[in-house]
Chains A and B, each alone.
Chain A
Amino acid sequence: MPWTGCAGLLKNRAAGLKTKEEAGESMGKKFTAQTIEQVRYMSYPAAHPDGHEAVYVCSMHRKSDGKYQSWLVRTDAVTGRREELTDRECENAFLPRYSGDGKHLAYLSDRTGEKQLWILDLEDGKRRRLTSLRRGADWYDMRRDREEFLIQAGCYQEEIENGTWDKEMSSEERKAWEARKDRAPVVIDKPFCKDNSAYGLLDGRVDRIVKVFPDGKMELFGGISFKARYPVYSRDGQKAAFYGFPYKGVWEPDPEVFICAGDGSGLKQLTRKGRPVTEDPPCFNMDGSAVIYSSYYEGKEGGCEERLYQVSAEDGQVTALMGDVEETKSHGINGAPCSRTVYGTETPCYQLNKEGSEIWYRASCEGYERVFALSLDGTQKIREVTEFPMSVHSFCLPANGRMFFTAGDYTTITELHVMDMETKKYTRLTDENLWLKEYDLSVPRLIWVPTADKKTRIQVWVMAPANMEEGKKYPAILDVHGGPECSYTVDFWHEFQAIAADGMAVVYCNPRGSLGYGVEFSRDEYSWGEGACQDLLGAIEAAAELGFIDSERVGITGGSYGGMMTNKMIAKTDRFAAAVTQRCLINTATSYGCGDMGFESRRLKEGESLQMMKVLERRARSCLMGQIDSISTPLLILHGYKDYRCTFEQAEQIFIGMKERNPQVPVRMVMFPEENHDITREGNLYNQICHLQELINWFCKYLKEGGDADE
């Protein structure tokens, strides 16, 4: 793709930036923070073996309490007929999967309190519950040839020992347990004792694998004494693989790939320091002789990307399935897109195709999430399966020549599609977010901006403010994604639509440090050094050259790493007129030991021992808190109280530091009592709305003329 230098951008300015009035269209509704309550998310499509229909999970917030509901929808690929299979008022349903003969649908449902495994007979519509796990099921795999399952379920050791692990709790028992949990002390004796996804302290509930037999009997699988996740069967059902966490102490969070026989015998650890990524399940190759998983490949000079590997079931030998290929369209798999709000699980990122000849996987390529196929013949060849201008969120392997997938783009949140593998033509099957058509949306415009050293270029998107007037200049918000091993994709970003609708431009990009642009591009020295800062400033400058952004009225925001970068940028320069720092990191000397990451002893070399004063002093002197005095930008701090990734005390550090050291600078902090680090993606509806509204109000106040949000 040819680069456009900065001068060239001016020429591009005119195209595509007409206002709706100029284009002769009527004014639509204004997209606001509140609008997100209408959003429906589709995830985890499952294809019928015949390919004529699919089932997907639809999720939406519930207005009464802001929690989300999930239900199953079955849709016919030919007729478009749509049927809801579960009643969202009675249950939340997840993870649908067709049986091998297409006659039954397995899924998880919390109808009886906890998520249990259910089977729906697609012919007579009758459904039966297979499990009665006391603490519910979180994930499962099923054998193709019979009704046998491996389930990932959280269990308490005490309940395993007293035999109640497979007996559901009555509502009185649940009430008593919750009351006790609210006040009972937690005794902790191991360093890995808290987890952001657990909203705090780990209380002894450990992921275990449970086997469900065709006769409905359940048993704990494999005699596994440690945490285990994502059990999968081999094609012939004779073997099973999973991620186990066999280590203790500060190494407890580290998983390895394990294998055993289908009956749970012969447990064997396959990888040693294999560091598999446990976001997605592993899979077997065709004959079960190897287990395929993903891990971070690290370049010699730093930088990384997520690549596929296979480990031999026989001798634990690891082979890289992906190599350093020069001309490649995908850089590793996944690319950890910044995550749209999903409220569900996506289908596995990588899957072995039916023939066993390729691994199909999702990866982002220059902003688009695509499906690629990696050849397993040793050539490491990769080809694109999808090439259309949409981002694929979830895909099913082709069934009878039809590939079902969910995808979105700039103005589509996500919808279910089906692609004919022969003709490559694809059709949209759902209209779950038809209401979006009534709204004025800003279409992001892509520009490529060369880095300061001219060695590479940054992908930048600019969204014009709604109802833009010719010749007028507008405030702009620079948004920095988290990670930094993450990336923005071609997708619908509701936060940005709401900001644009309130008359402010939005600039977002994938600076160096982001994933999806190669190993060199993702190097730590860029994300934690000057490179990312330069790229962000370069992005704003380039966006300003389009002609409608007032350089004096630019705000900056970001979450997590993006929050840290927001803090870093406003300490470094006062060119930003306002800032919103979300779930940020600022003081690594106080964050040590508080969240679920950051063990120091893991970095020790042979013979070294920890000296806390050295560790803490190093952190104090290198972190941003030491630069607090140079922050003069009006600052809004947003943070969840139960954030165990970047703990709330970080928000207090920057808040108190600003109030004490820079009392003349406007500062506001909003704390969300029940939210963790995923507040903007999995949080309560009202917290998501408020989080966004606070951000908009702050920027309107300090960036817009008149200083008030349009309400």
Chain B
Amino acid sequence: MNKQVSALEDYRLIEELSGGEYLADAGLFVWCRTAWDEQLQAGRSSILLKNLASGEEQMLTAGGTTETSPRFRPDGKSVSFLSNAEGGMQIWCTSLETGECRKITAVPGGVTSPLWSPDGRMMSFLSSPVKPPAPTYIDELYPAGTVKPVVIEDFGYKFDGAGFIQPGHTQLHTVDVETGEIICLTQGNWDALHPAWSPDGQELVYLSGQERGKEEALALDLFMVPARGGSSRRISSRDWAVSYPNPVNPVFTPDGKWVIMAFMDSSMVQDPGFSAGYPLCRLHRVAVDGSEDVDIFQTTEECFDCVAFPYFGGTAGCQEKMQVSEDGRFVYFISGWKGQCNIYRAAVYGEPKVELLSGGEQNYRGIGKPQNGRMLVARSDFSQLGNYFLMDVETGETGEPLTSANDFIKDRAISRPETMVFDTLDGRGKVQGWIIPPQNRAEGKKYPAVLYIHGGPHPFCPFALEYQYQCLAGRGFAVIYCNFRGSSSYGKEHLDLKLAYDGTAAYDCLQAVDEAVRRYEWIDRERIGVTGGSYGGYLTTYLAEKTERFRACAAQRAVYSELMQYASSDMQGSSAGYKNFEEFMVNCLKNSVVAYAEDIHVPFLILHGEEDYRCPVEGAHQMFTALKECHPDLPVEMILWPRLNHDIPRDIREKTEYLEYLIRWFEKYL
């Protein structure tokens, strides 16, 4: 008896878990659950608290519809969380004894990243002070309710997902939970990121680029600042601490003398624009007095990096991705390795030594503070979309999940991805990929397949379920995906960005398709389509131009013109290194897929958001027009979402409408 297939309507059932925290002494576990609320006709995030002994579960709420980031007060008697109940995202606190819920902050513009001080008397948080710019004649000219023009005088005037705004910078603050008194700890034209309290509660560490020049936009250092206010002092300066796109939190050793943090491998940082690609990362132990900065990382065959950059598979995540052991001798971290996101531990002192703690075909997304020999972890894999577990810090073993999110998939004919690894044609490496057979596959029947190319190109497809792929499988498609050259978690050479753009990655994808066809005779080799978003959309278009392999294509939020990207993307372009601007322009065009539009001879779908400020929608317009002019009779469609940025829609109704268009295209043309 076949189970029901996955369908886009299932997105209304999917629960995403985040911000889990475990308090061993009280046997309590708290987390945030985000899911579609039928009544609200919108997504809703709620805080859930579970007593692990009794199994009793209750919801903590301030009455808002978006409530996230729960944190136990160190004495275990209260839980703080962020809620939009009143005046934006503010910190609220519920007493577990009395049930009383009290508002702690009322900061204009809202707050993020709330953390308790070790003694539970204060909390730290980040907020962007909404400082209205000095009024100009424009503010006086336009009446209320009219749309004012935007004055632009420098780079960085628009941000994907935010718009044409002048964002304030995130500043670090502390609040006295009793009195409500707020102290602003940082100030300036820079962001304070990823704060953490020192064990004695006297100081906080945070990341910022305040002492770096403008040309080193992604260079961050560690700073210490007194919790009650005072000047910051820099404690690291050599290498660049890691934030975008793999944020990791710094952690203190229990004696408070050292901060452990991930830093970019400086030998791989060639220029501030990362034109060679994103570097690998290494753990450092940095003295809080700034006197020492020791690289404690060890690259081994089993561990290339101290961060993980999975492309999907996260319906559960902890607050943190790095923890120090209770005795201070080890630091636990998550590293991407050959598609896996495993937990490792590194020795804090002595000879660098990195050991695998928990490995396998799984995707760890967060690590909580070790307590009494166990630590909370968030994990997804091929059998479940994401849940929380408690892991033994010595053995790496986990027991039953603490949560049972997305149980509905037990009633779906989920198709387990089958792993494949093949040697590349150029002999320089191997590529790992997966095939998801169609759900409820019938013997003797042939099926079409869709190659789904991940974006980035640095993220990697992990050992986790992506529900979009399951929906495709539910509609009778096999899904093929792989970690082509340019993807991370396979070491330095595999990660080389050049390979993602010189055709190497394209060959890897073609090989993946050939490999899939070779292994499974039920794949109809004449009916294979290709799609992908962002870099994946670019490579989709590239493959459509360079090969005859695919019967239908769909490019999502892609880069079609490098020349247009130069001026219209929120990621600043550079024309440096060319004899003159004309040569720069022609070179951009040579490397742009729009310049070869006439080479596409198969049905082509373009999906794009009009508020995509990463890959501007004008590129889609140009590609669409080029295709229509070159091949007026070819099925070519462009679908534009007026309010969509560089993403697929978040609203469940809009998301399902978007994915329906995508799937229908392949149903029609494959």
A contact residues vs B (CB 8 Å cutoff) = 34, 63-66, 181-191, 193-194, 201, 249-250, 587, 589-590, 592-594, 599-601, 609-613, 616-617, 620-621, 625-629, 647, 649, 652-653, 655-657, 659-661, 667-674, 684, 686-687, 689-690, 693, 711
Residues of B within 8 Å of A667, CB to CB, are 153
Contact A593 B626 (CB under 8 A): yes
Contact B150 A201 (CB under 8 A): no
B contact residues vs A (CB 8 Å cutoff) = 137-138, 141-143, 145-147, 149-155, 164, 561, 563-564, 566-568, 572-575, 580-582, 585-586, 589-590, 592, 594-598, 616, 618, 621-626, 628-630, 632, 635-643, 654, 657-658, 661
CA separation between A674 and B148, bound complex, in Å? 9
Given contacts A590-B563, A590-B618, A693-B137, contact A684 B654 (CB under 8 A): no
Contact A652 B567 (CB under 8 A): yes
Residues of A within 8 Å of B164, CB to CB, are 671, 673
Residues of B within 8 Å of A589, CB to CB, are 563, 585, 589
Which of B147, B566, B630, B641 is A185 in contact with, Cβ under 8 Å? B641
Which of B573, B622, B628, B642 is A656 in contact with, Cβ under 8 Å? B573
Contact A647 B146 (CB under 8 A): no
Contact B567 A655 (CB under 8 A): yes
Q: How far is the CB of B653 from chain A (nearest CB, A)?
A: 10
CA separation between A309 and B57, bound complex, in Å? 83
Q: How far is the CB of B636 from chain A (nearest CB, A)?
A: 7
Q: How far is the CB of A552 from chain B (nearest CB, A)?
A: 26
7 contacts between A and B (CB under 8 A): A185-B658, A194-B621, A589-B585, A609-B630, A613-B595, A653-B567, A659-B155
Given contacts A589-B563, A590-B622, contact A689 B642 (CB under 8 A): no
Contact B629 A600 (CB under 8 A): yes
Residues of B within 8 Å of A686, CB to CB, are 141-143, 146
Contact A656 B155 (CB under 8 A): yes
Contact A656 B638 (CB under 8 A): no
Given contacts A191-B625, A620-B589, A686-B142, contact A612 B639 (CB under 8 A): no
Contact B618 A647 (CB under 8 A): yes
Residues of A within 8 Å of B563, CB to CB, are 587, 589-590, 620
CA separation between A627 and B638, bound complex, in Å? 34
**9 further A-B pairs in the complex, CB-CB below 8 A; given A185-B658, A617-B595, A626-B580:** A65-B146, A193-B624, A593-B625, A626-B585, A661-B581, A667-B153, A670-B150, A671-B149, A671-B150
Contact A655 B152 (CB under 8 A): yes
Contact A183 B654 (CB under 8 A): yes
Residues of A within 8 Å of B597, CB to CB, are 612
Contact B143 A594 (CB under 8 A): no
CA separation between A593 and B628, bound complex, in Å? 10
Contact A66 B580 (CB under 8 A): no
Q: How far is the CB of B307 from chain A (nearest CB, A)?
A: 31
From A691, which residue of chain B is reached at the shortest CB distance?
A: B149
Given contacts A594-B618, A613-B596, contact A669 B146 (CB under 8 A): no
Which of A182, A594, A600, A690 is B138 in contact with, Cβ under 8 Å? A690
6 smallest CB-CB distances across A and B, nearest first, come from: A593-B625, A593-B622, A626-B582, A191-B628, A656-B567, A613-B595
CA separation between A689 and B138, bound complex, in Å? 10
Contact B642 A186 (CB under 8 A): yes
Contact B629 A250 (CB under 8 A): yes
Residues of A within 8 Å of B657, CB to CB, are 185
Given contacts A611-B598, A616-B589, contact A593 B580 (CB under 8 A): no
Residues of A within 8 Å of B661, CB to CB, are 185, 187
Contact B622 A592 (CB under 8 A): yes
Residues of B within 8 Å of A629, CB to CB, are 580-581
Which of B137, B564, B623, B638 is A649 in contact with, Cβ under 8 Å? B564
Residues of B within 8 Å of A660, CB to CB, are 573-575
Q: How far is the CB of B146 from chain A (nearest CB, A)?
A: 6
Contact B629 A191 (CB under 8 A): yes
Which of B568, B585, B624 is A188 in contact with, Cβ under 8 Å? B624
Contact A66 B146 (CB under 8 A): yes
Contact B147 A673 (CB under 8 A): yes
Q: How far is the CB of A697 from chain B (nearest CB, A)?
A: 8
Residues of B within 8 Å of A626, CB to CB, are 580-582, 585
Contact B628 A190 (CB under 8 A): yes
Contact A590 B564 (CB under 8 A): yes
Residues of A within 8 Å of B598, CB to CB, are 609-612
Contact B567 A185 (CB under 8 A): no
Contact A183 B637 (CB under 8 A): no
Residues of B within 8 Å of A601, CB to CB, are 629-630, 632
Contact B580 A617 (CB under 8 A): no
Contact B585 A649 (CB under 8 A): no
Contact A673 B149 (CB under 8 A): yes
CA separation between A455 and B145, bound complex, in Å? 55
Which of A593, A652, A668, A684 is B151 in contact with, Cβ under 8 Å? A668
Q: How far is the CB of B647 from chain A (nearest CB, A)?
A: 14
Q: How far is the CB of A571 from chain B (nearest CB, A)?
A: 11
From B595, which residue of chain A is reached at the shortest CB distance?
A: A613
Q: How far is the CB of A43 from chain B (nearest CB, A)?
A: 25
Q: How far is the CB of A492 from chain B (nearest CB, A)?
A: 23
CA separation between A533 and B150, bound complex, in Å? 32
Q: How far is the CB of A669 from chain B (nearest CB, A)?
A: 4
Q: How far is the CB of A37 from chain B (nearest CB, A)?
A: 10
From B565, which residue of chain A is reached at the shortest CB distance?
A: A590
CA separation between A672 and B138, bound complex, in Å? 12
Q: How far is the CB of A656 from chain B (nearest CB, A)?
A: 4
Given contacts A188-B639, A655-B567, contact A669 B153 (CB under 8 A): yes
Q: How far is the CB of B554 from chain A (nearest CB, A)?
A: 13
Q: How far is the CB of B100 from chain A (nearest CB, A)?
A: 39
CA separation between A186 and B563, bound complex, in Å? 26
Q: Which of B563, B564, B622, B625 has the most CB of A within 10 A?
A: B625
Q: How far is the CB of B590 from chain A (nearest CB, A)?
A: 7
Residues of A within 8 Å of B629, CB to CB, are 191, 250, 599-601, 610
CA separation between A63 and B143, bound complex, in Å? 8
Residues of A within 8 Å of B637, CB to CB, are 187-189
Contact B581 A649 (CB under 8 A): no
Residues of A within 8 Å of B566, CB to CB, are 653, 656
Residues of A within 8 Å of B149, CB to CB, are 670-673, 687, 690
Q: How far is the CB of A253 from chain B (nearest CB, A)?
A: 13
Contact A594 B622 (CB under 8 A): yes
Which of B155, B585, B643 is A183 in contact with, Cβ under 8 Å? B643
Q: How far is the CB of B138 from chain A (nearest CB, A)?
A: 6
Contact B624 A183 (CB under 8 A): no
Which of A613, A620, A671, A684 is B152 in contact with, Cβ under 8 Å? A671
Given contacts A250-B628, A670-B152, contact A689 B141 (CB under 8 A): yes
CA separation between A672 and B148, bound complex, in Å? 7
Contact A612 B594 (CB under 8 A): yes
Q: Which of B563, B585, B597, B616 has the most CB of A within 10 A?
A: B585
Q: How far is the CB of A397 from chain B (nearest CB, A)?
A: 41
Given contacts A590-B618, A669-B152, contact A613 B590 (CB under 8 A): yes
Residues of B within 8 Å of A186, CB to CB, are 639-640, 642
Q: How far is the CB of A64 from chain B (nearest CB, A)?
A: 6
Residues of A within 8 Å of B623, CB to CB, are 593
Contact A621 B586 (CB under 8 A): yes
From A604, which residue of chain B is reached at the shortest CB distance?
A: B629
From A644, which residue of chain B is reached at the shortest CB distance?
A: B621
CA separation between A622 and B611, bound complex, in Å? 30
Q: How far is the CB of B568 from chain A (nearest CB, A)?
A: 5
CA separation between A659 and B150, bound complex, in Å? 17
CA separation between A65 and B147, bound complex, in Å? 9
CA separation between A193 and B617, bound complex, in Å? 14
Residues of B within 8 Å of A628, CB to CB, are 581
Residues of A within 8 Å of B595, CB to CB, are 612-613, 616-617
CA separation between A692 and B637, bound complex, in Å? 40
Q: Which of B563, B574, B621, B630 has the most CB of A within 10 A?
A: B621
From B137, which residue of chain A is reached at the shortest CB distance?
A: A693
From B151, which residue of chain A is reached at the shortest CB distance?
A: A670
Residues of B within 8 Å of A63, CB to CB, are 143
CA separation between A590 and B572, bound complex, in Å? 17
